[in-house]
Amino acid sequence: MNERTLSSNEDITEEENEILDENGTIGQKEKLALYSRSIAISVSQGLVGPFVSMIAIRNMNASGSDLGWLQSIANLLLTFLNPIFGRMSDILRRRIPFIVISTVSWGIPYIFLYWVKSPISIIIIVALVNLFGSLGVSSWGALQNELFPPRVRAKLSSRVFWYNAFGNMIATFFTGIVLTLVFGDLDYQKYILIPVVLGIVLSAIGVLPFIAIEEPLKKIKKEDQPVSRKLRESFSLSYKNKPFRNFVFFSMIYSFFWSFAWPLFPIKQVIILKASALEIAILNILFSVTTLLFINIGAKISDNVGRTKMIFFSRIIMATFPLLYIFASSVWQLYIIHFIVSSLVTLGMPSVQAYLLDIAPEREGGIYFGIYNMITGLFLFFGSLVSGYLVDYLKISYGIELALTIGLGISFLGRFISSFLFLFMKEQKAFPSSLGQILQQLKLRRIRAP
Contact 24/151 with Cβ under 8 angstroms? no
Average predicted confidence (pLDDT) for the chain: 82
Q: pLDDT-based confidence at 91, cuts 50/70/90?
A: confident
- Classify each residue of 59-95 as buried b or exposed e, where b means 16 or more C-beta atoms within 10 Å of its C-beta: bbebbbbbbbbbbbbbbbbbbbbbbbbbbbbbebbbb
Which of 296-305, 375-384, 425-434 is most confident? 375-384
Contact 187/22 with Cβ under 8 angstroms? no
> Looking at residues 369-375, what average pLDDT do you find?
83
Residue 385 pLDDT greater than 60, yes or no: yes
How many angstroms separate the CA atoms of 222 and 129, rounded?
36
Q: pLDDT-based confidence at 448, cuts 50/70/90?
A: very low
Contact 2/362 with Cβ under 8 angstroms? yes
80: three-class secondary structure by DSSP: coil
- Residue 21: count of CB within 10 angstroms of its CB: 12
Phi–psi pair at 357, nearest 5 degrees: -65, -35
**Chain centroid to CA 107:** 17
What pLDDT was estimated at residue 223?
59
Contact 100/210 with Cβ under 8 angstroms? yes
Contact 283/335 with Cβ under 8 angstroms? yes
pTM of the model: 0.75
First-to-final CA distance of the chain = 49
Q: Give helix 82-92 / helix 137-147 axis angle, nearest 10°.
A: 50
Strand pairing partners for 20? Answer: 26
Q: Which one has a higher pLDDT value, 102 or 220?
A: 102
Helix (H) / strand (E) element for 197: namely helix 193-206
Q: pLDDT tens digits, residue range 7-63? A: 333 333 444 444 444 344 578 888 899 999 999 998 888 888 877 888 888 888 888
Q: pLDDT-based confidence at 444, cuts 50/70/90?
A: low
Q: What share of the chain is helix, strand, coil (3-state, %, to 5)?
A: 80, 0, 20
What pLDDT was estimated at residue 16?
40
Q: Which one has a higher pLDDT value, 26 or 422?
A: 422
How many angstroms separate the CA atoms of 312 and 309, rounded?
5
> Looking at residues 60-80, what average pLDDT do you find?
86
Q: Which conformational region is residue 427 in: left (phi greater than 0), alpha (psi within -120 to 50 degrees), or beta? A: beta
Strand pairing partners for 26? Answer: 20
Strand pairing partners for 82? Answer: none
Q: Which conformational region is residue 399 in: left (phi greater than 0), alpha (psi within -120 to 50 degrees), or beta? A: left
Task: State the virtual CA torsion across 146, 144, 344, 247 in degrees, nearest 10.
Answer: -60
